[in-house]
Every structure is written in structure tokens, then in C-alpha cells.
Amino acid sequence: MALISVGIDHEHASLDLLERSTVLEHEWSKVLRALISQRNIHEAVFVSTCLRTEVVAVIDRFHGAIDEITATLSEVTGLDPSEFEDKLSVHFDRGVANHLFSVAAGLKSVVPGEFEILGQLRRALELATEENTAGAELTELFQRAITAGRRVRAETTIARGTTSFAQASVTMALEEIGEDINGAEVVVVGAGQLAGGVVRSLLSGSANVAKLTICNRTVEKAEALRTDVGDPRVVAGSLDDVVTSVSNARLCVVAAETTTPIITSNELVGGARPLLLVDLGVPRAIATDVDGLTNVRRIDIDDLRLRIERVLGERHEAVDAATAIVERDVEKYLSDQRARGAAAIVSELRDRFDGIAEVELLRRENEFTDLSEEQWVLVRSLVNSVIAKIAHRPTIALKEAAGTDQGLRLNEATRSLFDL
């Protein structure tokens, strides 16, 4: 069996394709069950965020698994395989660890070092564990990747400054609006992790907003976020309150999962005051037809990505340091995997040798009745020493080749030669 990861991400796909391939979190369980029912897939973890939809799996046949994962992604997203096959990012065996550790470290995020990806990976593993689709191999891989991600943020400056979509989007919005934000009303649609980050960034930054309305499909969650923030300027409402709230707002940030746009031009026609709309949704939560309205400006994740790319130079040293940590942690993980992969057959081989020696010593014990107890101990010590020397080279070869094609061949040959 081998490891594979297959995904659609912002490095290789357009925002349009990303939003059409996004799977909402409440549907992840269905995807996991579909994956694990496939012939070549033995373990699977699935994650779908605003900029990444990915499967990590333990598989049998490489090409068979690729076909099965592609078919599953097509089924759950409604996309024809021809729309995304040439945009897939595929990693195999060692490359999976390199990829996942880098993702967890924030090295493959639009905002380098952003924290949100760690929570997303953790939730993906937890759900796969609940659905019994993540076994020991994927569990360790994800846990080690998440640990490496935490190390990167603790030991480098990659997470200094703007480190999340929430902070980056607020910074970008405030740069667009300028002093107009002072004394203005703001609307945030959504009450999840991303929306919470937006709310906190707006309230704790330099912006002196007069009122912040949280609108969410579930009002209780909006109320919970309002209580958690503990700021008297914050009020909570439902999605039905969005239109009324936006009509009085200077800024509206939408950070909610939705299959259809929450705001369209129909709700904004006739608005006289300037309005900045920030769409952090994938799929888009604000219809692009608002771009034709007077006094309305819309920015989305593509704009955010361009802005981040312009300031990436400030973090090159931190990125290099983070990359070095990832490389070391990947090597340690792979080394531990190789050692464990070889441990079973090495143990079986030594047990086989020791068993043969023990049987022979017992069988011929009567031929050495004239030996004293001390001499018998010496004979056993000599036999054990010979066994250790015979087993030494095969043991080293099995450990060094573990986790490789050569290791698989040596493993099979050893089992055949010594009837293990």
C-alpha cells in the first residue's frame, strides 16, 4: 500500500474552478464514505476550504486510485472530469508528507503562515476518525503535519503581522475605505471561524466603527459570537436582516458558506451611499452583477491574493526558515516510518532464526550431557552471537530500504526465503 494526495488548489486552478469544486463541510462525511467504498482506497481524509479541495489516501494501485478519486470528486462537485483533470495536484508517497507538512505550515496558503489551515486540517482528521476512514497511517501523518505547522509558527516570524484571511481582508478593506470607516456601520455575514476573525480584526484595529452587525443563517450562532466578542457596538441578526443592515453600512464582509449568492444587485439598487463589499466566500457569496452599480465596489479572494503576492517579499527569510523546519520534520517522520515499516519483518526474521536455533539446541541437548551449566551457557551465547551476525546485514538492508520499491521487493523476498 502507498500514500497519495489529489487536490484542486489556488496554485493551479482559477477562482471560478475553486468555487465550483468546493464541498461544504456538512457534506464531507458523504465524500469520505464514497472514497472508502472504492476498491483501491483503504484510508481517506478529505478537506475542502475556500482555496483547496483535497483527498489524502492510503491506496493499492496508483492509477486505479487516481481514477477513483477523480470520479468521486466529479460526483460530489457536479463537475465533469475534463474540467479539472489537468488542474489536479498529485503527490505520491514521500511527496505526500512534503506537501501536507507544507500545507500545515502555511507555506502553500495565499497568506503565508495563516493559522486557519491548521484548524481545517484538524477538523478533517477528526471527521475521518469519526467516519472510520482514517487509520493509523493517516492519523499519524496528519498529527505530525499539524505539529510541524505549530512549530513553524512558534519558531519563525512567518506568522507575524497579517496571518489570516480575516486580518488580510480587513486590512485590504480599510486601505480601500480610508477614514470613511470612522463612525461608519459595518456588516459581517457569517458567524464561523473566518467571520469571527473578521469581527475581531475590525473591532481591535484602528477602525473606529460605530456599529457592527453580525448576520447569520442561525441567529443563535451570531448571538454567541456577539457575546464572545463582548463589545457593545456589536448586534446580531439573521440573513433576513442583511439587506436592511447593508443599506446603512459603509462596509460589508461576507464570510459564509453558501451555494447561492447572499447579496445581488437587486438588493442594492438605489443605494446612494458608497459601499464596499468584501466577498470571502467560495463559492462566491456576492453576485458579480453588483459591479455595475454606482457607489458599489466589490473585492474578493482574487484581489486578496494579488495584494498578498505584492507584499510577500517581506517574509522571504521567514518562509526559508519555515521551509527548513518542514524539511527536517518530514525527514524525521519518514525515518520513523521506515524504521516502523522494517520493524515487523526484522522482528519476524530474528524470531525465525532464534526459533531454529532453540529447536536444534533442544533436539541435540542429550548429546552434550557432559557439559557443565557454565559451558552450556557459553554454547548458547556462541549460537546467539552467530545468529546476530548472520541477521545483521539483512536487518540493515531491510531498514534502509523500508518505504521504497526496493524495500517492498526485499520484504517479499525475505518472507519467501525464510518462510515468514
DSSP for 180-196, please give it: GGTT-EEEEE--SHHHH
d(Cα 46, Cα 125) in Å, to the nearest integer? Answer: 8
d(Cα 53, Cα 74) in Å, to the nearest integer? Answer: 12
pLDDT at residue number 403: 64
Nearest to 236 by CA among 246, 226, 248, 250: 226
- What is residue 116's three-state secondary structure? helix
Query: Is beta strand 2-9 parallel, antiparallel or unpaired with respect to 52-59?
Result: antiparallel
Per-residue cell: 386: 552467530
Residues ≥6 apart with Cβ < 8 Å to 77: 20, 21, 22, 23, 53
Per-residue pLDDT of the chain in tens (420 residues, 90 and over written 9): 789 999 999 888 877 788 788 888 889 999 999 999 999 999 999 999 877 899 999 998 899 999 999 999 999 989 999 989 889 999 998 899 999 999 999 888 877 777 888 999 999 999 999 999 999 999 999 999 999 999 999 998 887 665 566 777 888 888 889 888 889 999 999 888 778 888 988 888 666 899 999 999 889 989 999 999 999 999 999 999 998 999 889 999 998 877 788 999 988 877 778 999 999 877 788 998 999 898 899 998 888 777 766 655 556 778 889 999 999 999 999 888 777 767 778 888 888 888 888 888 888 888 888 888 888 888 888 988 898 888 888 888 887 777 666 777 887 888 888 888
Tell me how far the alpha carbon of residue 246 is from its chain's centroid: 34
Domains of the chain: 2-161 (3.30.460.30), 165-308 (3.40.50.720), 343-417 (no CATH)
Residues carrying an active site annotation: 50
